[in-house]
Amino acid sequence: MRVRFWGTRGSIPVSLTWRDLRDRVAQAIVAANGRALDTLEKAHAFAEGELPFSVAGTYGGHSPCVELETGGPSYFVCDMGSGARAFGAHVMARQAGAPAHINVFMSHLHWDHVMGFPFFIPAWVPGSRIRVYGCHPNLEAAFVRQQEPPGFPVGFSRLGAELEFVPLVAGKTVEVEGVRVTPKLQLHGGDSYGYRFEAGGRSVIYSTDSEHKLEDAAESRDFVAFFRDADLVIFDSMYSLAEAVSVKEDWGHSSNMVGVELCQMAGVKHLVLFHHEPAYDDAAIERVLVETRRFEELTREGAALQVSSAYDGLEIPL
């Protein structure tokens, strides 16, 4: 399996401004002072190897869309946030004219998780087959509604693909083209669902828009069982712990520290921080990552838990 992140920001897409970019160019020039970077190749190597990611990269702007490459002929993807536009372009290029079969797993129907669908090109192409899986009873209605006037100029009925909405039940495992998929109910306004995917001896958890109550032992046990021995957990860590337990309690999101605790208890190998707060700049997200790794080291009892922060374009082979 390989996991590819197309959208990693929460709530609303963001983009770098000209000021951000100019500031980064200036920082890079200062950092390169005295170095003989006289070719693009040398400059690339310097940017990649010596500049922090918050200067030479960006955690990305698209709202949630995460692809799971399973090795089979069909595509698997979680959520249709604005990252679905880029994912769709990738599908079209890879298919080179052949019809695409795509399985979409919806965490929930909040706007940031469906907004990319009208811009998902395979949905407009006759011959494509798209199955949308989810636990919400109003799954199809939410997709149809966002393309109704006055919100969008072209109606859902004009889409060219063969579309099917497939209801799933929380806690009940289904097999989709050789992949075992188990949804789990999560605490979030209007409910959200996490997914456990298992194929080829690997397991990936997609758990976004999920608030955890640290004091609720039964809830923690439930999630530890859901995460148990996973190779990768993609985790909603929108807030810092201080925010999550004070001002933003009950806002339906979680923190980096809770992610570490649950993953350590479950024996997870790799935790990926996801659904970044739109108000955080790259330096702030990088600080959260450094803090999270430090917290993991301090609280480690068994094997090390690898911690990463998701960005648009990140690929993790498993």
Q: Among candidates 125, 122, 104, which has minimal Cα distance to 114?
A: 104
Asked if residue 112 binds Zn ion (CB under 5 A), the reply is yes
Q: Which is nearer to Zn ion, 10 or 116 (CB)?
A: 10
Among 67, 79, 198, 209, which residue interacts with Zn ion (rule: CB under 5 A)? 209
The Cα 182–Cα 165 span in angstroms is 17
Asked if residue 9 binds Zn ion (CB under 5 A), the reply is no
Asked if residue 286 binds Zn ion (CB under 5 A), the reply is no
- Interacting residues of 143 by C-beta distance below 8 A, sequence separation 6+: 114, 117, 132, 156, 165
Q: Which is nearer to Zn ion, 275 or 293 (CB)?
A: 275
The Cα 222–Cα 8 span in angstroms is 25
Options 93-101, 130-138, 159-167, 201-209: segment touching Zn ion (CB under 5 A): 201-209
* Minimum distance, C-beta of residue 253 to Zn ion, in the bound complex (Å): 8
- Interacting residues of 309 by C-beta distance below 8 A, sequence separation 6+: 59, 272, 273, 276, 285, 286, 288, 289
Asked if residue 277 binds Zn ion (CB under 5 A), the reply is no
Asked if residue 211 binds Zn ion (CB under 5 A), the reply is no
* Minimum distance, C-beta of residue 291 to Zn ion, in the bound complex (Å): 22
Options 90-98, 102-110, 165-173, 307-315: segment touching Zn ion (CB under 5 A): 102-110
Inter-residue contact 271 to 237 (CB < 8 Å): no
Residue with tokens 């192409």: 125
> How open is the CA angle 280-283-289, to the nearest 5 degrees?
90
Among 110, 184, 202, 293, which residue interacts with Zn ion (rule: CB under 5 A)? 110
Q: Which is nearer to Zn ion, 12 or 25 (CB)?
A: 12
CA distances from 206 to 13, 80, 102, 121, 298 (A): 19, 14, 17, 24, 26
Q: Which is nearer to Zn ion, 164 or 249 (CB)?
A: 249
Token pair of 177 as six digits:
């083209």
Q: Which is nearer to Zn ion, 79 or 282 (CB)?
A: 79
Residues in the interface with Zn ion (CB under 5 A) total 4
Residue with tokens 């969008």: 152
Options 179-187, 206-214, 223-231, 282-290: segment touching Zn ion (CB under 5 A): 206-214
Options 7-15, 29-37, 70-78, 286-294: segment touching Zn ion (CB under 5 A): 7-15
* Minimum distance, C-beta of residue 236 to Zn ion, in the bound complex (Å): 8
Inter-residue contact 204 to 68 (CB < 8 Å): yes
Q: Which is nearer to Zn ion, 1 or 205 (CB)?
A: 205
Options 10-18, 53-61, 67-75, 148-156: segment touching Zn ion (CB under 5 A): 10-18
Asked if residue 296 binds Zn ion (CB under 5 A), the reply is no
The Cα 18–Cα 206 span in angstroms is 33
Inter-residue contact 54 to 283 (CB < 8 Å): yes
* Minimum distance, C-beta of residue 112 to Zn ion, in the bound complex (Å): 4
Q: Name the residue with the smallest CB distance to Zn ion.
A: 110
* Minimum distance, C-beta of residue 10 to Zn ion, in the bound complex (Å): 5
Options 70-78, 106-114, 131-139, 213-221: segment touching Zn ion (CB under 5 A): 106-114
Q: By the criterion CB under 5 A, which residues form the site for Zn ion? A: 10, 110, 112, 209
